[in-house]
Amino acid sequence: MGEDGRTDAALWLEATSGTEASFGVVYDRYRARVFRRAFAQVQNVSDAEDIVAVVFLEAWRRRKDVRFVDGSLLPWLLVVTTNVTLNSQRAARRHKRLLAAIPAAEHAVDPGHEIEERLDGQLLNGRLQAALHRLNPAERRVVELCFIEELPLADAAAALDVPLGSVKSRLSRARRKLQAELGDAVWPGERQADDAPAPLPRAADGLEVTG
């Protein structure tokens, strides 16, 4: 429930019934959180802003399918954010492969080469960021929801519309993979309570935006 006292469900009902201002309230309520999640994945302000726009466009397109978790639309929006980001990154990789397949003109100087390398460095911001990108999409979604956004496992399961056991097993597999790549010095090995996953270690600071 926001400062105006209206729940997300009430606002969404108003929005889908023709009250455009209510959709604007939902947008204002969660735009910053969606932006933070997008920026954590792409490390680029312009790209993150584009993802925010697509997320809310997708939310409206799928307005009859949205899910509320304990009355909040945020967990579902975070899932959509991850999906949109993965799709945009796949499209960027296809575009990059296409450009690489085009023969360069003889003696041509590529002025975008340095910029492209810098953007690649941003996408692979540190060992942890790279390791997260190597998880499969299902594992990456639960890691982002449970460890980065610190949602309880039950809320993550509701947002993803999967059984709680599936979230636990995906999280366990992801944790083993990350430990294997990063070691316990970067990924703490202490056991956590079943429904209270610890946040990512401080080595993950590059994944988040504060403020």
Taking only the tens place, the pLDDT of each residue in 153-187 is 888 888 888 899 999 998 888 888 888 877 654 44
Contact (CB, 8 A) for 195 and 146: no
Which residue did the predictor score with more confidence, 190 or 147?
A: 147
H-assigned helices in 43-163: 45-61, 74-101, 113-123, 126-133, 137-143, 153-160
The C-alpha atoms of residue 200 and residue 197 are separated, in whole angstroms, by 9
pLDDT, one tens digit per residue, over 5-59 is 789 999 999 998 888 889 999 999 999 999 999 998 888 888 889 999 999 999 9
Closest-CA residue to 63 (of 2, 9, 25): 9
User: What residues form DSSP beta bridges with 72?
Assistant: 69
What is the pLDDT at residue 63? 87
Burial of 49 (0-12, 13-18, 19+ CB in 10 A): middle
Contact (CB, 8 A) for 174 and 135: yes
Buried (b) or exposed (e) across 162-183, using 16+ Cβ within 10 A? eeeeebbebbeebbebbeebbe
Using a cut of 0.95, tell me whether the model's pTM lies above it. Answer: no
Q: What distance separates the 2 farthest-apart alpha carbons in the chain?
A: 65
Q: CA–CA distance from 63 to each of 13, 27, 75, 155 (Å)?
A: 10, 13, 15, 20
pLDDT, one tens digit per residue, over 46-93 is 888 999 999 999 998 888 888 899 889 999 999 999 888 888 776 655
Phi-psi category of residue 197: left, alpha or beta, with phi > 0 → left and psi -120 to 50 → alpha: beta
The C-alpha atoms of residue 102 and residue 181 are separated, in whole angstroms, by 35
